[in-house]
Amino acid sequence: MADTAPLLSVRDLTIGFRTDEGMVTAVDRVSFDIAAGEFVAITGQSGCGKTTLLRVLMGLMPATSGLLDMSGRPIRGCDHKRAMVFQQAELLPWRSALANVEFGLQTKGMRAAERRRIAGDYLAMVGLAGAEQRRPDQLSGGMRQRVGLARALAVDPDLLLMDEPFGALDAHTREALQAELIRLHEQVRKTVVFVTHDLDEAVLLSDRVFVMSPAGRLAEIVEVPIGRPRSDPEWLRTTPLFAEKRYHIWQTMKRLESETREPRGRAA
């Protein structure tokens, strides 16, 4: 980590839910720092607390205990310093692509002409120049995700949170958007926390991969020392370092799953 103060700092964060059977812990005493401009992927089995953690980072729900701050200030509720891209784009169906991107700018009180200009610039940045007036039902799944990404970037957040944004797309579209996200990250240098089940995606995109255990703990942080810019994703996938990091993460997840299945497994 850099010597400067981290953009995001998390200490002993626990997130629990009350159910009919009692309290269920989704995230258990997680601690980490993320530097400004860093790209971090979070991976792990279904149910390990990845999306729950992301929602708390966004301010959509409270933590049960622990400390969580950004730029030295506690995170309490949502603000424009953080933006989120969901697995489904969640666009407003009655609004055009341009008007969807304008929405966050509108909530900031920006004047109409200025927000139209900014929204148009970000749609062009994600490759949707010429599609400004199309409604969501006139866009492909990949195009809708591009609109969602443009909408998040348009408010100029310090932290971009992405919850499996390419998970529902076909392989070709997914790889195209991965390459697009690499390009955009180089261009705008936002800090990104990216949840994914896809290990190839995690290694390809990130500077570090956080591996969550089935018990909701941060089991390991894997450094990905692949330099930037990463201008040739297809070539990167063929390199020994890429294969080594992917295999290491896969082995870690397999070990964590095995430990969870032990009859008298280690403390959860």
Quote the domain boundaries for residue 93.
82-156
pLDDT band at 268 (very low <50, low <70, confident <90, very high): very low
The confidence score (pLDDT) of residue 3 equals 55
Q: Which residues are within 8 A (CB) of 144 and not within 5 positions of it... i.e. 6 or more apart?
A: 89, 91, 136
pLDDT band at 262 (very low <50, low <70, confident <90, very high): low
Q: Is residue 121 part of a domain?
A: yes
Q: Is residue 252 part of a domain?
A: no
Q: CB-hemisphere CA count at 13 Å for 237? A: 10
pLDDT in tens, 193-248: 999 999 999 999 999 999 999 999 999 999 999 999 998 999 999 999 999 999 99
Q: Which one-letter DSSP state was computed for residue 242? A: H
Number of domains in the chain: 1
Picking from 17-21, 27-31, 42-46, 172-176, which range would have the lowest pLDDT averaged per residue? 17-21
Q: Is residue 59 part of a domain?
A: no
Model's pTM, two decimal places?
Answer: 0.92
Q: Is residue 246 part of a domain?
A: no
pLDDT in tens, 66-75: 999 999 999 9
Where helices occur in the chain by DSSP H, the ranges are 50-58, 97-107, 112-125, 141-154, 171-188, 199-205, 233-236, 240-261
Q: Is residue 129 part of a domain?
A: yes
Q: Is residue 255 part of a domain?
A: no
Mean pLDDT, rounded, of the chain: 92
